[in-house]
């Protein structure tokens, strides 16, 4: 690994090493173009680079293409997970295996143009630990996706306990120092962007125009997007929990006032008719509020449940292209294994 010295906040590095990490799920259609674009970028870098491709249980020919590439080209490495663990965990597996001084995380579908990496590296050399790529424009995304993304970022920025940058995907450069912190975070429900926001250090953005998917189609149906948004909210905000408290207090207050009103009318009014309707309304309302709040509690408890199982985050099935069998990731959760080994 290259020696890194710091002078007045500027990173002075002689031939730094780079790692590119790409999660890949059924992307056979874009792979040839991806390799072509990556090769061009790698050739212009000022230090040696490795490309870690994490096959997230693809069911098309991606696995074969990726493994073949890793075997024939020493810069490429292949990690095949034992099933589809989802993008967040696939990225984690790749980040665990990355050895570079600077690690670049990006999607494989070329919506994140690899050419931006040069700009990121320039910022990194200025001394920033995390350089994320902010989308100036987003091509080829449905109006619905843009609207829901906007709503999500708004909600996140008003609720979350850390500042998660807006219009930023997972495309970013991460310095070794920040990566080590990330690696020590072994939570099960992962929202990688939020986790990097939590890590802190000096962070900055470079702007880019998000491109259309080069080929194939999105692996993120609405259902999965909603789930990620929900994960993000629940793991980075306790506002829903506090909301439960306030809503409970508010409803109890109303119930108390209503109770007082009922007693007063009973005492001082002669034409008081015991109201079945109002009773049922109150009962139903309280039932509804209760259910909602129990549901919110359930969300958090489900996460605790998930966490206490302490399962490995992912399972590695096959690898190719790693220099020696000792350091190659194998079996379960590379980082956890390293830690246990001391
Ligand atoms: N991906 C993955 N596992 C999944 C779904 C997606 O590794 O279960 C990868 C996918 O191959 C791509 C990246 O994650 O490299 C982003 O996925 P996609 O482009 O489908 O998402 P979108 O850009 O539409 O949000
Ligand atoms: Mg995409």
Tokens of 100: 């570079």
Q: Which residues contact 334 (CB under 8 A, 6 or more apart)?
A: 93, 96, 97, 316
Distance CA 5, CA 127 (A): 11
Whether ligand 1 lies within 6 angstroms of the CB of 171 is answered as no
Count CA within 13 A, CB hemisphere, residue 253: 6
pLDDT of residue 1: 44
pLDDT number for residue 50: 94
**Closest ligand relative to 192 C-alpha:** 1
Q: Which residue's alpha carbon is nearest to atom 8 within ligand 1?
A: 86
- Give the C-alpha separation, 342 to 338, whole Å: 6
For residue 302, what pLDDT is reported? 76
Q: Is the CB of 219 under 6 A from ligand 1?
A: yes
Q: pLDDT under 50 in the chain at which residues?
A: 1-3, 5, 8
Ligand 1 pocket test, candidate residues 22, 23, 138, 228, most atoms within 8 A of CB: 23
Q: What is the CA radius of gyration of the chain?
A: 25
Over the stretch 50-87, which tens digit does the pLDDT of each residue have? 999 999 999 999 999 999 999 999 999 999 999 999 99
> Coil, strand or helix: which one is 334?
helix
- In tens, the pLDDT along 103-121 reads 999 999 888 899 999 999 9
Q: What is the pLDDT of residue 21?
A: 97
User: Which ligand is closest in space to the CA of residue 22?
Assistant: 1
Query: Which phi and psi angles does 5 have, rounded to 5°?
Result: -115, 160
Residue 218 beta carbon below 6 angstroms from any ligand 1 atom:
yes
Instruction: Say how many Å lie between the CA of residue 9 and the centre of ligand 2.
Output: 34
Ligand 1, from 30, 144, 220, 227: best to mutate by most atoms within 8 Å of Cβ? 220
pLDDT of res. 118: 93
């Amino acid at each position: 690994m290259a020696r890194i010295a710091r002078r007045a906040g500027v990173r002075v590095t002689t031939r730094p090493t780079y790692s590119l990490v790409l999660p890949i799920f059924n992307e056979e259609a874009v792979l040839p173009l991806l390799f072509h674009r990556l090769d061009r970028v790698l050739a212009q870098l000022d230090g040696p680079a490795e490309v870690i491709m994490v096959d997230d249980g693809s069911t098309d020919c991606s696995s074969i293409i990726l493994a073949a590439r890793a075997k024939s080209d020493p810069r490429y490495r292949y990690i095949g997970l034992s099933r589809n663990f989802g993008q967040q965990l696939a990225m984690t597996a790749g980040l665990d295996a990355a050895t570079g001084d600077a690690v670049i995380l990006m999607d494989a579908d070329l919506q994140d143009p690899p050419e931006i990496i040069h700009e990121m590296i320039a910022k990194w050399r200025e001394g920033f630990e995390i350089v994320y790529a902010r989308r100036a424009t987003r091509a080829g995304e449905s109006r619905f996706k843009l609207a829901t993304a906007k709503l999500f970022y708004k909600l996140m920025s008003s609720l979350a306990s850390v500042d998660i940058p807006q219009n930023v995907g997972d495309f970013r450069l991460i310095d070794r120092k920040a990566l080590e912190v990330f690696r020590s975070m072994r939570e099960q429900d992962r929202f990688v962007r939020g986790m990097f926001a939590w890590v802190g250090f000096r962070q900055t953005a470079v702007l880019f125009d998000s491109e259309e998917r080069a080929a194939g189609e999105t692996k993120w149906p609405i259902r999965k997007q909603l789930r990620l948004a929900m994960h993000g909210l629940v793991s980075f905000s306790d506002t829903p929990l506090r909301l439960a408290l306030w809503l409970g207090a508010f409803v109890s207050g109303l119930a108390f006032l209503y109770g007082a009103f009922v007693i007063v009318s009973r005492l001082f009014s002669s034409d008081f008719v015991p109201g079945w309707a109002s009773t049922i309304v109150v009962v139903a309302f309280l039932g509804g509020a209760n259910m909602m709040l129990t549901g919110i509690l359930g969300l958090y408890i489900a996460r605790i449940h998930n966490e206490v199982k302490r399962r490995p985050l992912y399972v590695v099935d096959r690898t190719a292209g790693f220099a020696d069998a000792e350091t190659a990731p194998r079996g379960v959760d590379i980082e956890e294994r390293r830690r246990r080994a001391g």
